[in-house]
Structure 1
Amino acid sequence: MITAPLPLDEDLRLRSLKRLEILDSEPEEAFDRIARLAAWAFKVPIVLVSLVDEDRQWFKARHGLATCETPRSVSFCAHAVFSKRMLVVEDALDDERFLDNPLVLGAPHIRFYAGAPLLLADGQVAGTLCLIDTVPRSFDPHDAEVLAGYAQLVERELEVRSQLIRLQTAHERDRRSLAISEARFTTVFKETPVGNALVDLDGRFLDVNQAFCAIVGYSEDTLRTLTFAKVTHPDDLAEDLALVAELLAGKHTAYAMEKRYMRPDGTAIWVSLAVTLVRDAAGVPLHLIAAVQDIDSRKKSEKALRNYHVELEERVRERTAELRRSRDALQTITDNLPALIAVVDRDLRYRFNNEAFRRVFGTPSVALRGASIQDTLSPEVFESLQPLFARALAGERVTCNEVRYRADEERVWCTTYIPAEREGKVTGFYVMSHDVTEQRRTEQRLREKALIDPLTGLANRRALQEELGAILTHVGAVALFFIDLDGFKGINDRFGHDTGDALLREVARRLAATVRAGDMVSRLGGDEFVVVSRGVADAPGAERIAQALCHALARPFVAGGTIVEASASVGVVLRGTGDAARSVRMHDTLALADAAMYEAKRAGRNTWRLARHTAADKVKLNETRYPAEKAKSNAKKHSEF
């Protein structure tokens, strides 16, 4: 017996077969019908739709045969898969490849075989449609043509199945994207430390977050029965109502003021109020979004407030399709953002600019409409950025971290070019350019203080220690995520340290892209990373971040030109806002996070575990003490990976 050799592109063939998700599936009448018709047409006792897997041939349809699979080593169909041509054996006993084959000498006693290869859309052969008889018989060209026709019917069913899988995958991707968008908006609205309120046009509260309740002193249920006029100080109400009237009249799209709220106990509290009016596509007002902050803590929260407004405006644009289509509303929003924002067509001409272009280039945004980028930028800048424009027009999202628009100033910009698509074609690209001068200066100062990890560019252990030291001496909610790569030692051993270093750099990039702008991402050492998120006060918020980190690191990496599969185990520690939380030492916090990560390892990896501490400041992890033999457990952990 001669076993069929493997095709040169066997890996590609097996991947194409797996993508069909058909192996070991339930019988389907479409395939069974083709097998019955072929058996009737050729008057043979056995007809099979055979799919050749790595070590077996599995029968999607079988007529006249009870078994559902046989080893690939004895398979006739494997020879047809190798040759990618129809295989005809008129008498197996006269063919040296099969005369001593167990399927010839024993059941089903094959003497005649004819198998037509089943070609997939990418040219790979999934298997065969084969005819089997227990007696020798001849097979002329007309028979071969008819068998090929039946095989094409099977191929059509396979292609229909492939298209259905692609549609289902796209549908699931869209569904998950929508769910993520909804979750993000809910998180921004509910979990931000700034008070948020959604108000109807009559001034009645539709929805509020806990921060707003804490500021005004009313419960959420009580606020839903009130209007903002009822809780506003009488001396401030007239100005507030006048500004709302101007919004509804179209004189403004938003306003800001300082006012006082009256709390249930009769005391007044000063707040900073920012109100935005949301309209539909026809310009009809829908509702108001109010952001409220205690003025006493405003200075401490200015950075968080700016980040919050950017996220809130982005969520509003995503949730309100009518607002996105309104150029006037989009212009107003982008004019108030501290960034250069533009839309460029395929001819490299501006179609949209925000007001920031006037401050940087001295040209009004209206005057730039239709103007060429080449005429706006200096020749040196245009020449350096032109390759990035070409990549964006080719459909690639690209970022340049070092852009200097003017040679007479030291300002540095981080610019991202995002392809704009319509009906599957790239029509131009979006430009988003942020002033990162202060960030670069800060990074330089950090490097000078040796706080940057040289491999990944993240904060190093020393920077983390300083950050934790600052956090643990002040009251404030914070979440700490201890991240350890699963199987990193095996990746190093298999692909080498250069690939391992490239993987660590890519891990660092994904972590920084996943967390919030104000969060600290650091490399503790080796394949261990730590993320510190201020303002995360409860377990659901921390678990959402941990899940996002696991998902980000579970996708395949391209490291050193090699595709690497990896994942991460995450230990999470929440630090509350009480005095007891401040007494937890930095070492205890890291140890608790490390223990939680180890529990995630034991739970199967690629997951997270949340650690907790008692009110008496005794550290616990899922009601189990952290092992005293820290060194021994760590040695065991690393030996397993």
Structure 2
Amino acid sequence: MTAAPFPHQETDRLQALHALQLLDTAPEPAFDALTRLAASVLQVPIAAVSLVDLHRQWFKSQLGLDVSETPRDAAFCAHAILGDGPLVISDAQQDPRFADNPLVTGAPHIRAYAGVPLRTSDGMAIGTLCAIDRRPRQFSPEQLQQLRDLAVLATREVQSREQAGRARAVAVHSQQKADAQEQLYQTTFDLAGVGIAHVGMDGRCLRLNPKFCEILGRSANELRSLRFQDLSHPDDVALDQGHLRELMAGHGSSYTLEKRYLRPDGGLVWAQLTVTLVRDGLGVPQYFLSLVQDITQRRSAEDALRSLRHQLEQRVQERTDELRRANTGLAETIRQLQASEQALHESRADLQAVLTHAHDAYICVDLQGLVVEWNRQAERLFGFTRSEAIGRSLDALIIPPAMRGAHQRGMERMARTGVARVLDQRLELPALRRDGSTFACELTITQLSSHQHGHLYAAFLQDITERKRTAAALAQQNEALARLNHEQQLMLDNEVVGIVRTRDRTVLWANRAFERMMGYGSGELVGTDTRLSYADDDTYERVGREAYAALEGGGSYRTEVEMVRKDGERLWVDVGGSRLVPGGGEALWMVLDITARKDYQRRMELLAFRDPLTGLPNRVLLLDRLERALAAAQRHGTRVAVCFADLDGFKSVNDRHGHAAGDEVLTCVARRLMATVRDSDTVARLGGDEFVVLLVHIAQPDDAQPVLQRAQALISAPIVLTDGAIVKVGASFGVAYAPDDSADPAELLAAADRAMYARKRQR
């Protein structure tokens, strides 16, 4: 026994077989009918539709067999799928390949065999339609042709399963892609660090993320029941509504403002709100996209800084006024020497009052570090009364224990040398309160002279704890903003979507995704004209005109165009753009490579709607065009002619010259039919040698006859095959008219088919 070798495309063939999902499935009437016809026509006890798997042949349909499968190495059908035409064996016992085959020496005792390969639309032989006899015999040419015809029907059934499977795969792929995009958007929406809400035209939330609920302190259900006016501070509603009216009037596509929201506990939340009006493809407003960032801490810090600045300015003004008054008093004292003692007394009294009621703590110590003056602000700041502080050592009152040694050494140095590095400087040092707590203190020390105490040291002290806390908060916020900006830049550079910023068609910036997409190095596109990326001048000019009109109106622009990479390779992209600033010259473009999707769509459309041999519309596309033609004829009061054609003499071409020659004849007939009709008409191939010509805008039934006469004359002209052989075929036409015969597409085709067979019988 000689086992059949594997075809040279065995892997592809097995993939095509398994993709059909026919193996190990239940019997089906369509295949069983073909098996019965084969057994009856060839007058054999056994017939089957066999599918050749990797290690077995499995019978999708069988007649006269008790088994559902046999080993592949013993299968006659494994030999049959290697050839282009039928495999015919008159006596297996006389054939060295099969003489000792167990299917010959044992059940089912095969002696005669005839099998025709069944092929997918890609030409892969996945099995056979076979007829088997238990006695030696010769099959007549008529019987073999009938077996081929039945195999054509089986092949059509297989290819219809193939097309249905591809359609299912397309639908599943599209759904998976849509689901993935929706999941990506939902994840980004839910995990965003800012509040995001879709707000309907009535002001109510349609969709919102957890951060939005967190910022406003309310649940999602509660927010959906309220309008944005109910959530806003009353003083901010009018400003917000004014911006919304501007958007609805077409003045810009978004706006940004700072406003206050109301929490359910009565508290306020300051937020930076950015609102974008989302329109559909016709420009009709759909909803508002609101981005909310909590800036309460920033506003509090800004308010604190403004208050502190005001206090400092006021304090400086007060001190200036005090110095001005003191200078005025001193000048008056000099000019009036006779009243010097009285003026000096009054000046001291005024100074004491100023120091007593000053906003800063005022402390004066002598060279031994003992307190000689302690004002009311010092009492409030440190917790010691003036009477408790006077005469006590300063380090025992306000100097933290860890710094007392340094303080005492500094006092000793000042007493010894009269020089101190801390004089007349603004210092920040920790200070100690009576209760043991410490705080940040700003300190200024000035040396004074006194007849009573000799040298004195006057110190003005201020609690700067709140100021340092505010400064730290601002620094932390600035650091976070800088980090966020850096992260956003990294996201832009690593985004899978190309992003380009332009001004007047000149590239200002492009992220790495776009540079890689177009085949350029980092920064290589900056400063170039965007014409560099377009496939032709017409596309460049068209996109420029359309984008200018859309963006100048405050909207956005999106299209699909063909672009060219640096290496000359072309690709299809989805381009969307919007102005960065309404009315400005700069725009931001999002570019997505859709080349693979475009190629896939073209392939799927060809498989779904075109005959793979001739490229003509198939039955599906023909019915679609017929329905459109019927609707147009009804509107305009015209007729439609459906012409069903069957070739005469085509079977003899196949028998004498083979199927390859038959394919050449079918392709030539298709070209000749196309040459006889108008651009508005349709020529379709239904399968085998059956064609349909659809003629539209027919005024009278006789108007179709000249077209059919030209078609018959062209078809009957000699055809020269590739191998030099010359063949001739004819054509029989049957015609049905709408609305005369019917207005239903299927009934029209059936009527034209009947008319064609009636014409054949007349010959």
- The offset of 1:52, in angstroms, is 1.1
Instruction: Establish whether residue 199 from structure 1 lines up as the match of residue 390 from structure 2.
Output: no
User: CA 1:308 to 1:50, structure 2 compared with 1: closer, same or farther past 3 Å?
Assistant: same
Distance 1:147 1:54 in 2: 26
Aligned match for 1:390, one of 562, 568, 584: 568
- The offset of 1:226, in angstroms, is 1.6
- Give the SS at the match of 2:61: strand
Q: In terms of mean alpha carbon deviation, does 124-133 or 172-181 score higher?
A: 172-181
Contact 2:254–2:274, Cα closer than 8 Å, also in 1: yes
- The offset of 1:201, in angstroms, is 2.2
- The offset of 1:337, in angstroms, is 11
- Give the SS at the match of 1:183: helix
User: CA 1:388 to 1:179, structure 2 compared with 1: closer, same or farther past 3 Å?
Assistant: same
Partner of 1:96: 96
Aligned match for 1:347, one of 532, 536, 560: 536
Partner of 1:168: 168
Distance 1:365 1:285 in 2: 14
Partner of 1:326: none
Distance 1:336 1:239 in 2: 36
Question: Which amino acid in structure 2 is aligned with residue 222 of structure 1?
Answer: E
Contact 1:194–1:305, Cα closer than 8 Å, also in 2: no
- Give the SS at the match of 1:110: coil
Distance 2:214 2:507 in 1: 29
User: CA 1:194 to 1:422, structure 2 compared with 1: closer, same or farther past 3 Å?
Assistant: same
Distance 1:285 1:100 in 2: 80
Instruction: Establish whether residue 260 from structure 1 lines up as the match of residue 274 from structure 2.
Output: no
Question: Which amino acid in structure 1 is aligned with residue 190 of structure 2?
Answer: K
- 1:172-225 Cα distance to aligned partner (Å, 9 max, x none): 111222222332332232331211122222322233221111111122222222
User: CA 1:264 to 1:386, structure 2 compared with 1: closer, same or farther past 3 Å?
Assistant: closer
Contact 1:331–1:354, Cα closer than 8 Å, also in 2: no
User: CA 1:77 to 1:185, structure 2 compared with 1: closer, same or farther past 3 Å?
Assistant: same
Q: What are the ranges of 5 or more consecutive residues in structure 1 without an aligned counterpart?
A: 316-329, 358-363, 374-384, 398-412, 427-641
- The offset of 1:94, in angstroms, is 1.8
Contact 1:355–1:365, Cα closer than 8 Å, also in 2: no
Partner of 1:129: 129
Distance 2:93 2:594 in 1: 65
- What does 1:233-272 correspond to in 2, within 5 Å? 233-272=233-272
> Number of residues paired by the alignment?
371
- The offset of 1:5, in angstroms, is 2.2
Contact 1:335–1:356, Cα closer than 8 Å, also in 2: no
- The offset of 1:22, in angstroms, is 1.7
Partner of 2:218: 218
Contact 1:392–1:417, Cα closer than 8 Å, also in 2: no
- The offset of 1:34, in angstroms, is 0.4
Distance 2:110 2:24 in 1: 24
Partner of 1:177: 177
Partner of 2:115: 115
Distance 1:389 1:262 in 2: 58
- 1:43-88 Cα distance to aligned partner (Å, 9 max, x none): 1111011111111111111111121100011111112123343221
- 1:10-36 Cα distance to aligned partner (Å, 9 max, x none): 223222222222221222211111001
User: CA 1:171 to 1:292, structure 2 compared with 1: closer, same or farther past 3 Å?
Assistant: same
- Give the SS at the match of 2:128: strand
Q: Name which structure has the greater RCO, CA cutoff 8 Å, separation 6+.
A: 1
Partner of 1:17: 17
- The offset of 1:142, in angstroms, is 2.3
- Give the SS at the match of 2:187: helix
**Between Structure 1 and Structure 2, whose CA radius of gyration is higher?**
2
Contact 1:392–1:418, Cα closer than 8 Å, also in 2: no
Contact 1:215–1:294, Cα closer than 8 Å, also in 2: yes
Distance 1:336 1:186 in 2: 32
- Give the SS at the match of 1:230: helix
Partner of 1:72: 72
Q: What are the ranges of 5 or more consecutive residues in structure 2 without an aligned counterpart?
A: 299-476, 515-529, 575-588, 604-763
Question: Which amino acid in structure 2 is aligned with residue 126 of structure 1?
Answer: I
User: CA 1:32 to 1:345, structure 2 compared with 1: closer, same or farther past 3 Å?
Assistant: farther
Question: Which amino acid in structure 1 is aligned with residue 83 of structure 2?
Answer: S
- Give the SS at the match of 1:352: helix
User: CA 1:176 to 1:331, structure 2 compared with 1: closer, same or farther past 3 Å?
Assistant: farther
- Give the SS at the match of 1:83: coil
Distance 1:83 1:422 in 2: 33
- Give the SS at the match of 1:270: strand
Distance 1:417 1:100 in 2: 60
Question: Which amino acid in structure 1 is aligned with residue 2 of structure 2?
Answer: I
Partner of 1:453: none
- The offset of 1:292, in angstroms, is 0.3
Partner of 1:289: 289
- 1:454-479 Cα distance to aligned partner (Å, 9 max, x none): xxxxxxxxxxxxxxxxxxxxxxxxxx
Distance 1:285 1:222 in 2: 25
User: CA 1:252 to 1:33, structure 2 compared with 1: closer, same or farther past 3 Å?
Assistant: same
Distance 1:212 1:85 in 2: 71
Contact 2:46–2:62, Cα closer than 8 Å, also in 1: yes
- 1:552-604 Cα distance to aligned partner (Å, 9 max, x none): xxxxxxxxxxxxxxxxxxxxxxxxxxxxxxxxxxxxxxxxxxxxxxxxxxxxx
- Give the SS at the match of 1:82: coil
- Give the SS at the match of 1:97: coil
Distance 1:414 1:204 in 2: 30
Partner of 2:51: 51
User: CA 1:414 to 1:268, structure 2 compared with 1: closer, same or farther past 3 Å?
Assistant: closer
The alignment-based identity, stated in percent, is 41
- What does 1:351-500 correspond to in 2, within 5 Å? 351-352=542-543, 388=566, 390-393=568-571, 419=595
User: CA 1:156 to 1:414, structure 2 compared with 1: closer, same or farther past 3 Å?
Assistant: closer
- What does 1:582-601 correspond to in 2, within 5 Å? none
Contact 2:120–2:162, Cα closer than 8 Å, also in 1: no
- Give the SS at the match of 1:167: helix
- 1:609-631 Cα distance to aligned partner (Å, 9 max, x none): xxxxxxxxxxxxxxxxxxxxxxx
Contact 1:352–1:365, Cα closer than 8 Å, also in 2: no
Partner of 1:546: none
Question: Which amino acid in structure 1 is aligned with residue 543 of structure 2?
Answer: F
Distance 2:590 2:253 in 1: 29
Question: Which amino acid in structure 2 is aligned with residue 245 of structure 1?
Answer: R
CA-based RMSD: 4.3
- Give the SS at the match of 1:3: coil
